[in-house]
Amino acid sequence: MSLLRRRKQPQPPPEQPNEDSSNGSDLDEKGMKKPGSSSSSAAPPPEAAAAAAKEATKRTRARWSCVDSCCWLVGCVCSAWWLLLFLYNAMPASFPQYVTEAITGPLPDPPGVKLQKEGLRAKHPVVFVPGIVTGGLELWEGHQCAEGLFRKRLWGGTFGDVYKRPLCWVEHMSLDNETGLDKPGIRVRPVTGLVAADYFVPGYFVWAVLIANLARIGYEEKTMYMAAYDWRLSFQNTEVRDQTLSRIKSNIELLVATNGGNRVVVIPHSMGVLYFLHFMKWVEAPPPMGGGGGPNWCAKHIKSVMNIGGPFLGVPKAVAGLFSSEAKDVAVARAIAPEVLDSDFLGLQTLRHLMRMTRTWDSTMSMIPKGGDTIWGDLDWSPEDGFECKAKNQKINDSEVSKDANGKNEVHPEPVKYGRIVSFGKDVAEAPSSEIEQIEFRDAVKGNNIAHSNTSCRDIWTEYHELGWGGIKAVADYKVYTAGSIIDLLRFVAPRMMQRGSVHFSYGIADNLDDPKYGHYKYWSNPLETKLPNAPEMEIFSMYGVGIPTERAYVYKLAPQAECYIPFQIDASAEGGDENSCLKGGVYLSNGDETVPVLSAGYMCAKGWRGKTRFNPSGSKTYIREYSHSPPSNLLEGRGTQSGAHVDIMGNFALIEDIIRIAAGATGEELGGDQVYSDIFKWSDKIKLKL
């Protein structure tokens, strides 16, 4: 208590500086009076104080370096990351769904839950056939630069090694340029099991949503099988190197035998559609070329083939990829930042390394357009003539509008000549064919290219280094290429690649399917040069998205000359006259799923295989199921449940429901038959093909 009552002692007044000390503070080291000093103790004027403070601030800012800014930025990013990670792990699992439902309303039940409530149960075993690039690949043997990567994914997963050692990654992902098989000392093999293609990268599903919904009605790993394969190889070489086709045959037989004799439902996606078409011919063909299953194997083992986004007749996108390592998005990117993709920026030479790698993947040649001008059109005609690329919110331009009989505004789009798959210049793409003067390129003499002797060029070798200026000029002088001349174009600019491809793939139309030559495996993935199996009870579905602008033809230009360069590129400056134009960034767009045009995905089931035809002699039933694209309404919906995009459609609830019903025992008729939103039947009727 005495402490509480103790009062604070008064402090003595501060000692006043005497005149000597004051005067001393005004003297410098030499005893001279400092400028501006005063013998009095008065405070400096306000102007001087403000100037001193400003000078101190400048000195502080000068000390803040670029390193400080980087550290500050990294600190903020890391802090935000850890905060979000904490919140993600702390919040209830149902919180994202709660927020989504609060914004958009109650979400519908997933198809598996809905159909489980209806009483559907697993019946037919299911086989998944992934497409190009969606299946994981792992390293089993590599060079010294790949030390520590044994059985690590080189493709799929996190792609961490692309950033750590990009050139080593390119070397190991490339195949031998002569054989189309492994390079010496390198073995990259497909990942097996359902995990091979459930997710492409963490968080980006491919088959995972479909697998989860099938599990809702009782499916498990013993009733589902992922037919993983090395999608870089030609289809027949997957059997030569890995015996993949034999493994698929054995697994299907096992699934049927262990599930009460119920035949399998096969679900191929993208290029997997062509791969399984090849398999159905291989399995019936006698050895050594085929699997020796006999003419009735498919009838005994396959209930339905539900093709998703199938490029049955190829895709123009494959032409752009092989010709210049481009597509629409790449062309836009290189137009925005050419230094990143075109030049030797940081020594990356991105597109050239990409071309070097992808031109060794023989599978890419399976998707070159098939059927020539008969299917895809010529200089003056195409099946899609009259297609209109209407913007969702049209803005009417008075100069391009007329009024119909009812007085309503009617937009007249410019007609698109889709048959001209590659045109050198927008003027050539739009000109009447009579005004186009083509100079034959097939017999042109390829000039010398000094860049071929450059060491760095040999390191990223593409066949353009052997084409020379003379060959490049000859290609451009021909001006326009249709599906009929595209094959000759690729043979001219990439003869070694096409020489390998000609052993494994064909792109024509068979005159007589009974000709013994069509027993060769090179024809088996072309639906226009092969017959469907003798399986009248087998159903074939073509399921794909519509309503998304899809690449159909290209406007090209010569690229600026440089060492080790790709001489051709899409002219991203070529644009249509208005927002309703089909020409965007040098690419003519048509209806499709963003990758496969409707014409390629739908023609065979709409007409080529419909009923008993020479391509479908047993009369297997065919159905078209189109899914109109509806993008997600907000970010919380992720990739959406009504998407028609080429990969995102794998999460489309309507498509998943159709698949589950067929797997549970329904037929195509019970599903409702055809479901069509596009003009596929109208376009198919325009194609004059002997059936």
Query: Would you please indicate which residues are annotated as catalytic (active-site) residues?
Result: 270, 593, 646
Give the relative orientation of helices 495-504 and 483-493 as an angle to the nearest 10 degrees: 120
Determine contact, residues 225/258, Cβ cutoff 8 Å: no
Q: What is the DSSP string of 149-203?
A: -TT-EEESTT-HHHHHSHHHHHHHHPPPTTTSSPPTT-EEEE--SGGGTSEEETT
Determine contact, residues 506/235, Cβ cutoff 8 Å: no
Q: Tell me whether residue 467 is exposed, middle or buried, using C-beta atoms within 10 angstroms of its C-beta: 0 to 12, 13 to 18, 19 or more.
A: buried
What Å distances lie between residue 195 and 208, 211, 559, CA to CA?
9, 11, 42
- How far apart are alpha carbons 549 and 579 in whole angstroms? 13
* Strand 264-268 relative to strand 126-129, pairing: parallel
Looking up tokens 């995102």, which residue turns up? Answer: 648
Determine contact, residues 624/605, Cβ cutoff 8 Å: yes
- How far apart are alpha carbons 276 and 267 in whole angstroms? 9
Looking up tokens 């802090």, which residue turns up? Answer: 79
- How far apart are alpha carbons 119 and 441 in whole angstroms? 64
Which element (helix H / strand E) includes 267? strand 264-268
- For 301, list phi and psi in degrees, rounded to 5: -115, -15
Q: What is the DSSP string of 541-608?
A: EEEEEESEEEEEEEEEEEPPP-TT--SEEE-TT---SSTT-SEETTEEEEEEBSSSBHHHHHHIIIII
With CA atoms as reference, report the closest residue to 328 among 596, 585, 573, 555: 585
Token reading at 584: 């965007």
Q: Tell me whether residue 259 is exposed, middle or buried, using C-beta atoms within 10 angstroms of its C-beta: 0 to 12, 13 to 18, 19 or more.
A: middle
Token reading at 571: 């002219």
